Chain A
Amino acid sequence: MTPAWKRRLSFTRMGRWYTGLTIGIGLAATNTGNNLLFLVLGLLLASIIVSGILSEQSLRGVRVERRLPSVATAGQPALIGLQARNGKRRAPSFSLEIRERGGDVAGHGFLVLLPAAQSAEVAYRFVPQRRGLHRFEQIEVATRAPFGLFEKSRPMDAPAELVVFPREVPARPLVGRTLARDGERPEDRIGLGLEVHSLRDHRPGEDARSIHWRSSARAGRLIAVDREQERRKRVCVVLDQRPLRGEALERAVEHAAALVSRELDGGAEVSLALAGAFLPAGSGEAQRYAALRLLALLGAGGDGLGAPEPDAEGSVLQVRG
């Protein structure tokens, strides 16, 4: 836990010159005894003190929260928000640079003015270069106000994690045994599909949309239709990562992710079978998120893991390195 009083101080380029000149003038004043040089020295030292007080005033009472995006994909820009609140009742804060410190991500935002008792948000663009877990550790609020001589910063603990999904690549066309069982299949039971299962008399109170008008006209009474229950296309993306390393693994993961996305976009139920992990079949955005997250966090190695176990009821899309 970083204490609230902790500060870091560094010189700016102007600050280095300024300090050097101050020391030089101090030596000249001491050497010559020229009181006007002492006066100039006093002004320079007082400016340093005023600068220190005001920069502290700017930093004090400022709280910052990080706002992470829900989804981030390698190679694609993501906006990370930094919301700052000035907790001081009267004094505004000037010239605040808010930046990441430690962790895997570097980025910063700049606020010219943060009025008293108000909030403001800045964002920075972050383009992740790799998939996987990205850790955030601290947020540092820094200011060079009022004169730009020194940079005073205050680190604040703000641990967070962002899972970056694999890079988006076009899915490669697949060939082989796995395509034989593609398509949606009737299940020979009444359900909500499109195909007709059976006809029967319409029951009072039943939805009028279930009436089969042509049969009703033929029979002279209201005939209802029951639809066939259909099972959606079911695909299992299989990736055995055990023999893969480095770039080959990355390519395979990106390919697997592309397949998952393509199949989900096509309306299929997708399951994901990895060495040591299996994601049951499902559809929709939640399934996409779960599958991409699993792929994002997939590490190399795992020789002791068992081979991937594909979904027995789905078409198998085998991904090779």
Chain B
Amino acid sequence: MKTPRGLTLLQTQRWAGTLTAAFGFLACAVSGEMGPAMTALFPLAVAGSAVAGRRFHGRMQWGWTVLLVGALLVLGVQVFAGQIDIILAAALFAELLCIHRLWHRRTERDELLLLLLALLLLCAGAALSAEVTFGFAFLAFAVSGTWALALTHLRFAIEEGRGPAGSAALLNSRRVATPALLGGLAALAFFGIAGAALIFLTFPRVTIGGLRRASRPAPIAGLGDRVDLSRHGTVADDPRVILRVRLDPAPRGEPRDLAMHWRARTLSQWTGHGWQSPDGGLIPVLRLPQRPPRGRGVPSVLSADIEVVGQFTDGVVFTPEGWPLGVDFRQPGTPRPAARRLYRNAAGDLFYQPVDSGDVRYSVVADTDEPDPARVRGRGQRYPSWVEADLAVPASLDARVRALAERLGAGKDPADAAAAVERWLATALRYTRDLPGDVADPIADFLFVRRAGHCELFSSAMVLMLRSLGIPARNVTGYFGGRRTDAGYYAVRAGDAHSWVEVYFPDAGYVRFDPTPASERGGRQEGFQARMVLLWDSLQQRWRAFVVDYDLVSQAQAMRRIGQLLHETGRRLAGKDGGTGRLRRVIAAAGGVLVTASVIAWLRRLRGRARKGQERELTADQRRAAALWRVGRRLLRSAGIEIAVGTTAGELARRVPAAAGLVRAYAAARWGGRRLPPRVVRATLRELRSGLRASAGRDI
């Protein structure tokens, strides 16, 4: 007899328990807060327990006890000293307990404790992590946990019900934990998940708000305050999402790619090989400086809801194109005061504090009307003293740069000069990211040797050329662009890093110029990896929007929406709407299709069951015998011999001697286990036909 493949019930139950513990741990580990040692420890412990767990069961208990008590003490001291928070400590200790249980599991109590510890790890993961990866770990936990709970119950119910001797055969059978059983339990898990979603949606979100775990402050590195032009990076290929932006009003036509400069900070001090931020500290901002009057009507206001991914913020506030009118760190719909405050430096760049490792969300309102060069023409060159830093020309500036600037802008109005330089750079030079390493003078090399470069070289060259003409200008860094996502926001990616120029005009302030060719601004993230990164980010955002940030307001909105939907459906079905006829026809058609499909499925199932019942157990010879019997009966009927219902083969043989051979062959093969090759079938039928012919006319 063929031995079935697969795992025994006992093995499957143990693996389901291990998997559940592993997914509980994973839910914690994705937060990244458990540390590399504790993260690596768990998989090693699982592997070890699978290999040698049984051998160590019940041994060295004192060692385990000392280890666990020691770990508890260490974690307690760390919590007391404020080095780690209590949730993380609890997660780490639960991991150790889980490992201990994985190495000591024999009784029902051991198995159930393991599952409870896995559940505790999942809960700790919920407190530690808000990422979508937790969602995947949660789903996997739901499935494996269902397997583990059901199989553990089954295993110990069998042991209890049948005793150790009676249960051994069943527990070691490979016919119990079949894929069908595991599939059924997985389907059960999905019912559980659907129920969880329903409960999640409707459970009243009345929260007390105590003991909420805050993100741990940590200094991070992100947008640099320094640019070195003699080096070449690969930042333009980086598809990681930096900003998530929702614009109000939405851009006209909702284009796939947004053409927007996202301003970060000013780099106005030339270092010889690049730029750095101006000196000076930050001052708190209560109100943003007002825009110089322009004699225009109502400003065109744009509200940008910006979310900056934690590791890229560096405390900088990104602003869209235009003059920022206000920055608000309060979460929409939340009465809590903002946890962050706004600051600015001498150059007018905006920052926030405190800076932490988490994502930052704020909204910026900006007046999007930007003066074009024509409107700032004729404002003279009497500049205030505080723009002197933007007039500084490095002594080492190549004479050819100055000469080129004079050729393009000497004698012209500053606005025209700036436009001319911008135009010349954008048209005469080529954009490339393929640059050699260190060069002595990156600007001269860019303008006169290679005549090609990236956005920082374009903007740097323009700044230095304008400054050599006595026009205050500064280099500005930030991002350009934004790719629309399915989740309804624009994603600005690391590869969209960009650099441009701001030129000062009296009574107008700084006006943006961008000498980089328009088609080359921003990044080139079009590959598979870039699409996947965007998809993942979109998924993450949906997770956040629908799960992590689901609150009382969202709940009320969801309930109202469901109510409206039901009301609308009821109204349409009741015929109080013009489009009801079509809706009814659609519902009737759908219902008809459903009923027909159900009937067909039912009939097929019945037929399949009948066929299975008849044929599952039959051998080929038995099936041949059944066919021989059917043909024989037909021949007899056609010969005028009526066979009453219920006539047995033996009775037939006695009544019709010609059919004796048929009956013998049929009975021997169908019930006697004899072989019935096709040639015997043919010979039997021949014999029957000739017998019937011979006895034709006889009254049977």
A residues with a Cβ closer than 8 A to B are 13-14, 17-18, 21, 25, 28-47, 49-50, 54, 94-95, 97, 109-112, 144-149
Contact = CB atoms under 8 A, between A and B. Distances in A.
Contact of A147 (B123, B150, B550): B150
A314 to B, nearest CB: 50
B547 A36 contact: yes
Contact of B149 (A45, A49, A148): A148
Nearest to B115: A14
B636 interface: no
Given A31-B207, A46-B192, A112-B161, A95 B134 contact: no
A31 B210 CA distance: 6
Contacts of B153: 95, 144-148
B157 A30 contact: no
Interface stretch (B197-205, B465-473, B617-625, B677-685): B197-205
Kindly list the 10 A-B residue pairs having the minimum CB-CB distance in the complex, ordered from nearest: A110-B161, A46-B195, A148-B153, A33-B207, A36-B126, A42-B196, A42-B199, A43-B196, A147-B149, A42-B200
A30 B206 contact: yes
Contacts of B203: 38, 41-42
Contact of B199 (A45, A95, A112): A45
A37 B161 contact: no
25 contacts: A17-B116, A18-B116, A30-B206, A32-B127, A32-B212, A33-B205, A33-B551, A35-B547, A35-B550, A36-B125, A36-B127, A37-B127, A41-B199, A41-B200, A45-B195, A46-B194, A95-B157, A97-B161, A110-B158, A110-B162, A112-B154, A145-B150, A146-B185, A147-B153, A148-B149
B195 A42 contact: yes
A17 B123 contact: no
Interface in B163-203: 170, 185, 188, 191-200, 203
Contacts of B197: 42
A148 B154 CA distance: 8
B161 A146 contact: no
B188 A146 contact: yes
B192 A33 contact: no
A54 B191 CA distance: 12
B196 A39 contact: yes
B208 interface: yes
B548 to A, nearest CB: 5
Interface in B115-131: 115-116, 119-120, 122-123, 125-127, 129-130
Interface string B196-240: 111110010111111111000000000000000000000000000
Given A17-B112, A43-B196, A45-B199, A34 B126 contact: yes
Contact of B112 (A14, A38, A95, A144): A14
B119 A21 contact: yes
Given A49-B195, A97-B157, A112-B161, 19 more contacts: A30-B207, A31-B208, A31-B212, A32-B207, A32-B210, A33-B205, A35-B550, A36-B134, A39-B126, A41-B199, A42-B199, A45-B199, A46-B192, A47-B146, A97-B161, A110-B160, A111-B161, A145-B153, A147-B153
A14 B149 CA distance: 10
A147 B120 CA distance: 18
Interface string B479-516: 00000000000000000000000000000000000000
Contacts of A146: 149-150, 153, 185, 188
B123 A112 contact: no
Nearest to B149: A147
Contacts of B195: 42-43, 45-47, 49-50
Contacts of B130: 36
Contact of B208 (A30, A110, A111): A30
A300 B595 CA distance: 72
B142 interface: yes
A36 B357 CA distance: 20
Contact of A35 (B161, B194, B199, B549): B549
Contacts of B122: 40
B458 interface: no
B138 interface: yes
A41 B199 CA distance: 8
Contacts of A25: 123
A33 B203 CA distance: 11
Contacts of A28: 123
A41 to B, nearest CB: 7
Nearest to B204: A30
Interface residues of B, number: 56
Nearest to A54: B188
Contacts, number: 146
B210 A148 contact: no
A37 B123 contact: yes
A44 B125 CA distance: 16
B152 interface: yes
A172 B120 CA distance: 69
A319 to B, nearest CB: 42
Interface string B565-595: 0000000000000000000000000000000
B93 interface: no
A110 B166 CA distance: 12
B213 to A, nearest CB: 7
Contacts of A38: 200, 203, 205, 550
Contacts of A39: 126, 138, 196, 200, 547
A148 B188 contact: no
Nearest to B154: A95
Contacts of B206: 30
Contacts of A109: 161
B155 to A, nearest CB: 10
Nearest to A22: B119
Given A41-B199, A148-B153, A33 B209 contact: yes
Nearest to A47: B192
B142 A33 contact: no
A13 B209 CA distance: 32
Contacts of B142: 43
Interface in B96-124: 109, 112, 115-116, 119-120, 122-123
Most chain A C-beta atoms within 10 Å of own C-beta, residue among B112, B129, B154, B194 = B154
Contacts of A144: 153, 157
Contacts of B209: 31-33
B105 to A, nearest CB: 15
B193 A34 contact: no
Contacts of A46: 191-196, 198-199
A40 B123 contact: yes
Contact of A148 (B123, B157, B191): B157
A95 B160 CA distance: 11
Contacts of A148: 149, 152-153, 156-157
Contacts of A18: 116
A271 to B, nearest CB: 46
B610 to A, nearest CB: 15
B212 to A, nearest CB: 5
Contacts of A94: 154
A38 B157 CA distance: 32
B89 to A, nearest CB: 16
A94 B123 CA distance: 31
B207 to A, nearest CB: 3
Nearest to B134: A36
Nearest to B138: A39
A209 B677 CA distance: 60
A84 to B, nearest CB: 13
A32 B86 CA distance: 14
A41 B200 CA distance: 8
Most chain A C-beta atoms within 10 Å of own C-beta, residue among B125, B126, B211 = B126
A94 B158 CA distance: 11
Contacts of A47: 146, 149, 192, 195
Contacts of A42: 195-200, 203
A144 to B, nearest CB: 6
A47 B185 CA distance: 12
A25 B196 CA distance: 14
A97 B160 CA distance: 10
